[in-house]
Amino acid sequence: AELMSDTFEGKTEGCFLYSRHWNPTNQVLSSCLAAMEGTEAGWVTGSGMAAITSAILQICNSGDHIISSITTYGGTYAFFQNWLPKYKIEVTFVDITDLKTVEQAIQSNTRIIFTETLTNPLLQVSDISELTKISKKNGLKLVVDNTFTPMIFSPHLLGADVVVHSLTKFINGKNDCVAGVICSSDEFIDSLIDVHSGTAMLLGPVLDTLRSSSIRKNLFTLHIRMKKHSENAMYLAKKMKEKGLKVRYPGLPDHSQHKTFKKMMNKDYGFGGILTLDMETTDNAGKL
């Protein structure tokens, strides 16, 4: 009876209540990703959006408020702008690089500052260390999407409370799955998968174990791939700049947050594999 009770509470090592709650395959992948991010625990999900929505809904209740970067992934923006208001959760979008504006946006009911390490698609660099100071000062949770910069940035080690990824992109690297992960403290992950009240447990965004096993195999080459992605992007950015094109890449000294990126980066892995090319008009873009 005691073993069964502890299993229901998720406290028994090697015993699993229900595959939607935990299973050994997903637990191994989650532990690997938590180790990569430097967090106590992790929980893998069926998509990157499942990771974001589960984390947000675990923290926020009706009547709460979120501050988010205005340049963010389209799916995240749509969730914040169109879905959360139905449940009376308000979101204020700000220029996340303007720290004064971020602090001015805080309200009495604010619960979260949400940002991406490198915003999609304009490649603004979020100063995680400074955002941490603001969040801690005001009793907020800092939730950071690290999808564009795995291994390059370690948001939790810079102070972020929750780190999410879409594993679909760089981490899996094979274009053959959809998945996500939430990395945080033991306390937060336990709350997510609580049998009676956990958002992840009750909404059921579980990752298929076959995909989970496949992603874990691909982790062995992630460090090699991230270095090469960065090398390739830097090469292309420099060549495009030489040809007079308007290219935005955080590895170039003229990027407005180049110094911010450099002070936070894990230097072995470069400036990332994403660059933005501004063709100025739709006609020019069409010709390309």
Q: Cα separation of 179 and 45, whole Å?
A: 6
Q: Give span(s): CATH 3.90.1150.10, the chain.
A: 222-287
The topology (CATH level 3) of 222-287 is Aspartate Aminotransferase, domain 1 (3.90.1150)
pTM (two decimals): 0.93
The confidence band for 46, taking pLDDT boundaries of 50, 70 and 90, is: very high
* Closest of 270, 281, 244, 39 to residue 162, by C-alpha: 39
Average pLDDT over every residue of 113-138: 97
Q: Tell me if 40 sits within 8 A of 34, measured CB to CB.
A: yes
Q: Cα separation of 118 and 86, whole Å?
A: 28
How much of the chain, in percent, has pLDDT values that exceed 90?
87
Which phi-psi region, left, alpha or beta, contains residue 14 (left: φ > 0; alpha: ψ -120 to 50)? left
- Please determine, for residue 201, whether its predicted confidence score (pLDDT) is greater than 70: yes
Average pLDDT over every residue of 52-69: 99
* 2-219 CATH: 3.40.640.10
Q: Give span(s): CATH 3.40.640.10, the chain.
A: 2-219
User: Which tokens go with 40?
Assistant: 């106590």
Task: Kindly report, residue by residue over 49-58, the tens digit of the pLDDT.
Answer: 999 999 999 9
